[in-house]
Amino acid sequence: MPFRFLLLVGWASAFLGASLGFGANSITGSVQDSGGKTLNGVFVSAKRDGATYTTTVYSEDAGKFRFPELAAGTYAVTAHAGGLQASRRSNVAVKDGQTVPLDFTLEVETRPAELLLQATSSEWLASLPGTMEQKMSLSKNCGSCHHNLFQLRSVRFTKEDWIRIISAMERIDVIGEIREPRPAYYMPWRHGTKEQIAEYLAQVQGPNSPLPKIQFFPRPTGKATRAVITEYRVPRENAIPHDVQLDSQGTAWYNDFKTDDLGRINPKTGEIKEYKLPSKPGFHPGSANMFIGDDDTIWVSQRIANTLTRFDPKTEKVIGRWEKVNFDRFDSKRGVALGTQMQMDLATGKVLRYKYKASTDGYGTAVDSRGFGYRGGIADSDVKVLNPETGEVTNYRTQTPDSGPRRITLDGDNYLWFGEWFGGKIGVLDLKSGKMTEYPVSGPFAAFYEAGVDPKNHIGWAFDWRNDRLVRVNPKTGEVTEYPMPTPDVQSRRTDVDTTTDPPSVWIHGAGNGLLIRVQAPL
């Protein structure tokens, strides 16, 4: 047995241990190119016949891979990576007490249309002709409200038609609803005017524009290959999960951006069950936020209907509905729902609305145990701290200009994590000292909708939309680790962490590809 392979077996046992069950029921092997060179950072994905989920590992630096313990059954196993032709093996039988050897040889992909499908949004942008300013105009405008940068490369129009489309996007919501015009300061044009953007789109995505020669970024190495990814397919056509949140038992709950469906996943069995929430007549269904109370009840904000619904997972019934209220936290001991702008006594239904001395405009919201509110500021570079008792609003500005902090997450009452939509960094604010730290990533055009946190180990996690990577930040060491996802166009707006597993289970959701995704990586 080669020394390298012995190292791999030792690595598998040490880094993911018995919690992920590296045992005899497994598939192990290597990946190389047609010339015999080993390939690192290649996705190797296995799906058992009849299962609702796919398990993926990476090939490590020596080209070796090993799956955690798999249920006995027949699997389809695929090795794939950008710039390479995928190789699929069917009818791979995994039996109890056996490890299946499986090696892959991947050929270089040369077909332009296939290469385009493999590329992340950042790789596509980097491969286009034009200046960085022109490319940034697409990254920071076309993908801000409608989140369609990944789909943008599949359509082609003249300059005149592109202007019509952009004008329609200004007026029409991402789900097709006509919206009120927003003030120019809220979402100004960045890196170009509407006409300049349309002209550039006609150049790169015009009726006769050639396909770009895709430049793939380096594949992951070292720690970034040491993770196990489980992808659960939502069992509903055109599902668009908008959030994922974990209850105290580690069950993952999700809502949907365009329907009034609420779902849950049992991570131990892969079982998925969905519930239909009541809709408001005359209003488009769908929700844009949710949270789980300290009593494990699920609170879902139905966006267009402006209705908040409370769901009891024990009885599997709706136990409350309110209009024109928004909350982020439920204190079951006090019986109070808390938001940044208001609180509500559940026993009486009385709503107390706060009055502040300065603007609280922003995007993401969070509330700590004291009732203090926090807001991200996508239209500016500020993170706001709101004191509902005094009405004071304290602004903390990022060092990165025009950073656009979006959704935010608290680590207790001491730290606030946020993702920078325009700045492309992950930030954390020390609420006691006021010190703010920003962490850059390797990929260009990075965009973070939010940042979550592992509250046990105090590690930040955030998803980069443009590079389709889940990013981990260790604030103690400053180390940043980036994990590419095997299925592109994830579009995750929320990251939640189950610290009861070893290693912790990080959950994200795929609004773009209809998946719920669990990532387990060593600390």
Domains 241-353+505-523 and 355-484 share a fold: yes
The predicted pLDDT at position 198 comes to: 97
Tally of CB atoms within 10 A around 339: 22
Quick check: 65 and 31 in contact, CB under 8 A? Answer: yes
Q: Class for domain 3-110, per CATH?
A: mainly beta
**Beta strand 26-33 with 99-101: parallel, antiparallel or unpaired?**
parallel
Q: From first to last of the 523 residues of the chain, give the pLDDT tens digit.
A: 333 333 333 333 333 443 455 557 999 999 999 999 999 999 999 999 999 999 999 999 999 999 999 999 999 999 999 999 999 999 999 999 999 999 999 999 999 999 999 999 999 999 999 999 999 999 998 776 666 688 888 899 999 999 999 988 888 877 777 777 666 656 788 999 999 999 999 999 999 999 999 999 999 999 999 999 999 999 999 999 999 999 999 999 999 999 999 999 999 889 999 999 999 999 999 999 999 999 999 999 999 999 999 999 999 999 999 999 999 999 999 999 999 999 999 999 999 999 999 999 999 999 999 999 999 988 889 999 999 999 999 999 999 999 999 999 999 999 999 999 999 999 999 999 999 999 999 989 999 999 999 999 999 999 999 999 999 999 999 999 999 999 999 999 999 999 999 999 999 999 999 999 999 999 9
Compute the distance between CA of residue 415 and CA of residue 255 in angstroms, rounded to an integer. 27
The predicted pLDDT at position 187 comes to: 73
- With respect to CATH, is domain 355-484 assigned 3.20.20.70? no
Triad 341, 344, 350: Cα angle to 5°? 115
The predicted pLDDT at position 114 comes to: 97
CA-based nearest residue to 12, from 65, 54, 63: 65
Domain boundaries, the chain: 3-110, 113-204, 241-353+505-523, 355-484
The predicted pLDDT at position 5 comes to: 30
The predicted pLDDT at position 174 comes to: 77
CATH superfamily of 241-353+505-523: YVTN repeat-like/Quinoprotein amine dehydrogenase (2.130.10.10)
Q: What is the 3-state secondary structure (H, E, C) of 299-321?
A: EEEECCCCEEEEEECCCCEEEEE
